[in-house]
Structure 1
Amino acid sequence: MADGVLAPSPVQNSFVRSPFSHPFLFANFSVAAVVLPYWSAASTQYLRRSCVTMASTHCNSSPACSFFVPQSSLKPSQQPSLLVFSGGTAFNCVAEELKKVTTRVAHVLPVSDDGGSTAEIVRVVGGPAVGDIRSRCLRLSDESTSEAIAVRRLLGHRLPLDASDAKSEWYRIVEGEHFLWNGVSRPYGETIRAFLAYFQNQILRRTSDSFCFSNGSIGNFFFAGARLFFQSLDAAIFLFSRVSQIPTESLVLPVISTNDRLTLGCELWDGAIIRGQNEISHPTAGFVQTVNKDCSSTIALPSRIKRVFYVSSEGSNLLHEIFPEANASVLELLSTVDCIVYSMGSLFTSICPSLILPGIGETIASRSVPKVLLLNGSHDRETTGLSASGFVTAITDALNRTYGDPHKCLQNFPSDYINALLVPKDGQIPVDVGCLAAQGIFRVIMVDSINDPKVGTVFDPNSLINALINLIFHSVEEAMANFNSSEKES
């Protein structure tokens, strides 16, 4: 169960908008289907697992309001819609549970990762990073049949760390002789093998670059083969989504729709520039190893991060800043979804790369829906020393493009981008409520957490999902109250 504080400002923090703009409530453009009775009936029919209690900051967590959330038995058109900015790992466990409540979720991911097997693919055959997208697609994939489970197991498989063993296993997979093909029917098998073989053919053609299969992801290789074949990242995502049977309402979107390589850079407050997402987030000693973003196990940054930006991957000046355009589909969805979420995860290398693009900040600021920041449970190399308000400032600066081209920056307030903060209980990030209030953020909600032995304190997925859905329902109640009030006045 989640609980916390709720002290809404009637002006700065309301979720009021015209109910006619609410797609999952007013699909027929009719006020006759009254909102609150509708949701009460749905809530009675579809009982949820738990409810979220919100309380006022001025009454020592005494209950202020509670809501019951309908389950995914609702038709897709009746389910709330969300857009989540995230990286490839931190939100994964939540994504699997969230699809049980609503499949109308757009997962927006960066394509600038340059670590792990993704780095090797980009080094040899070029193109955008596909690792984060592949990771999220797998988490959303179907598990309702034995074949679906077999396909997921195949595409989720990683080769051994030893380069020789990895190469040997890879050839057994491509040739169809590996046990991972057990349970995969001939049509599926031939489709998947075709793109794995195409990827193999492409790396063999690059005779000057020997490909290392160590710790390689079969899903990444399939994804890269599809992208190279179609010469389209969007087409590769579509194919992967269909092969892994992702619900059609669930979208996995690159924040930049490109077939080119993208490189991330960052500027520190001491003026230093770091090139490459891996070097910013979790630098390695130059050999293949599993990723560990724990700030206690990596060398600290010499100064805090001021901003992130995209840099050229070609030519002699590799620190030359470039300005790619946001995926048009992302901008379109931002204009229509019922809730916008900034996920927990690597703040500067997973979340901010999606926020700094032109049009993203403008669109988010124009919306009057829940805009929710999920606070990390612990610090990493990128955020050491930051409080909750520091996370808000970083996101605001990214969306405003504060430290980039002065002709392209915005002047919006933090509350234009974030109007609710969800905090995992027992988390290590200081929640400075006074500073958050000064930023115009008054909804600070504590959510149940669990201890992950690998990363420490994380959100309990079910409690987090209930908190998110209840924020949407609360916004609906406010919208209806505002609508009814205006009706009476008129």
Structure 2
Amino acid sequence: MWQLMICLYCPGGTAFNGVVEELKKVTTRVAHVLPVSDDGGSTAEIVRVLGGPAVGDIRSRCLRLSDESTSEALSVRTLLGHRLPLDPSEAKLEWYQIVEGEHTLWDGVSQPYRETIRAFLVYFHNEILRRSAEMFCFTNGSIGNFFFAGARIFFQSLDAAIFLFSRVSQIPAESLVLPVISTNDRLTLGCELWDGTIIRGQNEISHPSNGRKEVVNKDCNSCSALPSRIKRVFYMSSEGSNLLHEVFPEANRTVLEQLSKVDCIVYAMGSLFTSVCPSLVLRGIGETIASRSIPKVLLLNGSHDRETTGLPASGFVTAITDSLNRTYGDPDKSLKNLPKDYVNALLVPKGGQIPLDVKNLASQGIFHVVTVDSVRDAKTGVIFDSQSLIQALTSLISGRRLVEPDLLTENVESLY
């Protein structure tokens, strides 16, 4: 098995999950750095009633990394990956069957695992009942999210909850799932547009619901356009509504430690401003990444979404650079590093929608651009072929040298 250590800056949702399955076949020595500001789906209901950080992205990644080599491991994974029905009454009924240990999802789960998992589901349920003034809606609820929230509240520690979830789902010890901010508090993401508009909440930035309680539609063309392009994202107090409420949480020290010793840094595809950039804007992240002379690879999206409409490839690099430099925030906290200090290679899905402006990339100091085979997804459009992506990534990293070509026409190199 491949032994280089990778630090992945990635969304926790579907965009990268298929690639994780393929990556596991090559190496498990990966630090998965994830945001804790998602306020959509069943995570939103947990945060609304119980507070705390959003755990949905972390739960999603933990499940993708979990063991599936035995029938019991598959049963545990199925249980923690289960979602309740969309109908509120049916969802509540099924939840009671699960929490009382009577659901068929428990079949195949041995007594020690059953007692451990159920104990934290019961604890989560009791915490809901204690807040009788807030009616909890179980619609489309994730059992894994409920287990995770129960563990976090019991231990009063996000790190302890991740440790427990990792052991229950039997994640390899060398695979780290790291919240970019280690906190037991609620975090709110804010967004400033170039026209001065401030948007509060990750879901309102990427997939606004207009106040409706429904399953978020994450199809690439499901949302109306923003009134102006995004200037930056930042963290704000839970009750804040403008720039005066900006807060500056500390980066997870373990993330900084991993960044200082990994062999490669990868910015994965997904929602650029709401899933990738929130893990970059913290003090210490830009400083550490800029100091490393290693491959720093951007996996370019295959399609535009509400956040990136009209952006070329160089625009993605600029957004990452501005986030790591904290360019538009407090000037006393900003950096002035160059794009090539943060990104020195791009992997691009063949036939993707994002314009590949190689001359602008070259002006940013980025000369290594590799096209990778792609497939078409019905919901998200063009995406990387997972096997081809991992082959391209491992080839790039194992070479360890990113040589600048003499001609711009050599910028785009096809491995396949």
Query: Structure 1 residues 297, 314: closer, same or farther in 2, change over 3 A?
Result: closer
2:346 is aligned, of 418, 421, 438, to 421
Matched, 1:373 2:298: yes
Which has the higher mean CA deviation after the structures are superposed, 154-163 or 87-96?
A: 87-96
Higher gyration radius (CA): 1
1:107-160 CA distance string (max 9 Å, x none): 000000000000000000000000000000000000000000000000000001
Equivalence map 1:43-442=2 (5 Å): 72=1, 79-89=3-13, 90-314=15-239, 320-442=245-367
Q: Work out the CA distance in 1 between the residues paired with 2:52 and 2:288.
A: 28
Q: Is the 8 A contact 2:220 2:381 kept in 1?
A: no
Choose from 363, 386, 394 the match for 1:461: 386
Whether the aligned pair in 1 keeps the contact of 2:67 and 2:169 (CA below 8 Å) is yes
Asked which structure has the greater RCO (Cα within 8 Å, sep 6+), the reply is 1
In the TM superposition, residue 292 of structure 1 has moved relative to its aligned partner by: 2.6
Whichever residue aligns with residue 12 of structure 2, its letter is G
Whether the 8 Å contact between 1:95 and 1:139 is mirrored in structure 2 is: yes
In the alignment, which residue of structure 2 is the partner of 1:43? none
Deviations 1:186-243 (A, max 9, x none): 1000000000000000010001101000000000000000000000000000000000
Q: CA deviation digits over 1:437-477, x for unaligned, max 9? A: 00000000000111111211100111111111111111169
Residue deviations 1:399-443 (CA, integer Å, cap 9, x gap): 000000011110000000000000000100000000000000000
When structure 1 is superposed on structure 2, of 324-333 and 447-456 the one drifting more is 447-456
**TM superposition shift of 1:289:** 2.9
User: Is residue 181–residue 249 contact of structure 2 (8 Å, CA) maintained in 1?
Assistant: yes
1:295 CA displacement? 4.6
* Mapped contact 2:72–2:108 kept (Cα < 8 A): yes
Q: Is the 8 A contact 2:220 2:379 kept in 1?
A: no
Shift of residue 294, structure 1, vs aligned partner: 3.6
Does structure 1 conserve the Cα–Cα contact (< 8 Å) formed by 2:198 and 2:242? no
Which of 441, 452, 457 does residue 377 from structure 2 map onto?
A: 452
One-letter amino acid of the counterpart of residue 106, structure 1: A
CA distance in 2, matches of 1:105, 1:134: 16
User: 1:287, CA displacement in angstroms?
Assistant: 2.9
Letter in 1 for 2:73: A
Q: Counterpart of 1:441 in 2: which secondary structure?
A: coil
**For residue 158 of structure 2, what is the amino acid of its counterpart?**
L
Q: Residue 367 of structure 2 aligns to which amino acid in structure 1?
A: F
Distance 2:219 2:58 in 1: 22
1:51-108: CA deviations, max 9, x gaps?
xxxxxxxxxxxxxxxxxxxxx2x6xxxx011000111121111111101101100000
Check the 8 A contact 2:344/2:402 in 1, yes or no. no
Q: Distance in 2 between matches of 1:297 and 1:472?
A: 36
Contact 2:66/2:171 (8 A) holds in 1: yes
CA distance in 1, matches of 2:298, 2:281: 16
How far apart in 2 are the matches of 1:477 and 1:448? 21
Pair 403,477 (structure 1): closer, same or farther in 2 beyond 3 Å:
closer
Please give the alpha-carbon distance, in whole angstroms, between the structure 2 residues aligned to 1:313 and 1:245.
34
Q: Matched residue of 2:371: which SS?
A: strand
Work out whether residues 295 and 402 of structure 2, in 8 Å CA contact, stay in contact via their aligned partners in 1: no
CA distance, structure 2, for counterparts of residue 447 and residue 244 of structure 1: 32
The residue identity in structure 1 corresponding to 2:17 is N
Residues 91 and 345, structure 1, Cα contact 8 Å, conserved in 2: yes
Task: After TM superposition, give the deviation of residue 318 of structure 1 in Å.
Answer: 9.0
Q: Aligned residue for 2:413?
A: none
Partner Cα separation in structure 2 for residue 147 and residue 318 of structure 1: 49
Q: Once the 2 structures are TM-superposed, how far is the Cα of residue 274 of structure 1 from its aligned partner?
A: 0.2
Residues 236 and 193 of structure 1: is their aligned pair in 2 closer, same or farther, counting only changes over 3 Å? Answer: same
Q: CA RMSD in A?
A: 1.4
What is the TM-score normalised by the length of structure 2? 0.95
Q: Distance in 2 between matches of 1:182 and 1:450?
A: 36
Contact in 1 for aligned 2:55/2:149 (Cα 8 Å): yes
User: Contact conserved, 2:280 with 2:286, CA < 8 A, in 1?
Assistant: yes
Quote how far apart the aligned CAs of 1:265 are. Answer: 0.3
Q: State the partner residue of 1:47.
A: none
SS of equivalent to 1:383: coil
Change in CA separation of 1:334 and 1:427 when aligned onto 2, cut-off 3 Å: same
- The one-letter amino acid of 2:8's match is V
Letter of the 1:256 partner, please give it: I
Distance (Å, rounded) in 1 between the aligned partners of 2:336 and 2:12 = 30
Structure-1 separation of matches of 2:389 and 2:112 = 39
Q: Percent identical across equivalent pairs?
A: 78
Alpha-carbon contact 2:19-2:386 (below 8 Å) kept: yes
Equivalent AA in structure 2 for residue 443 of structure 1: H
Give the structure-1-normalised TM-score: 0.80
In 1, Cα distance between equivalents of 2:363 and 2:236: 34
Contact 1:110 1:132 in 2 (8 A): yes
Structure 2, gaps ≥5 residues long: 404-416
The total of aligned residue pairs comes to 402
CA distance in 1, matches of 2:278, 2:61: 17
Residues 220 and 380, structure 2, Cα contact 8 Å, conserved in 1:
no
Please tell me whether the aligned partners of residues 161 and 288 of structure 1 are also in contact (alpha carbons under 8 angstroms).
no
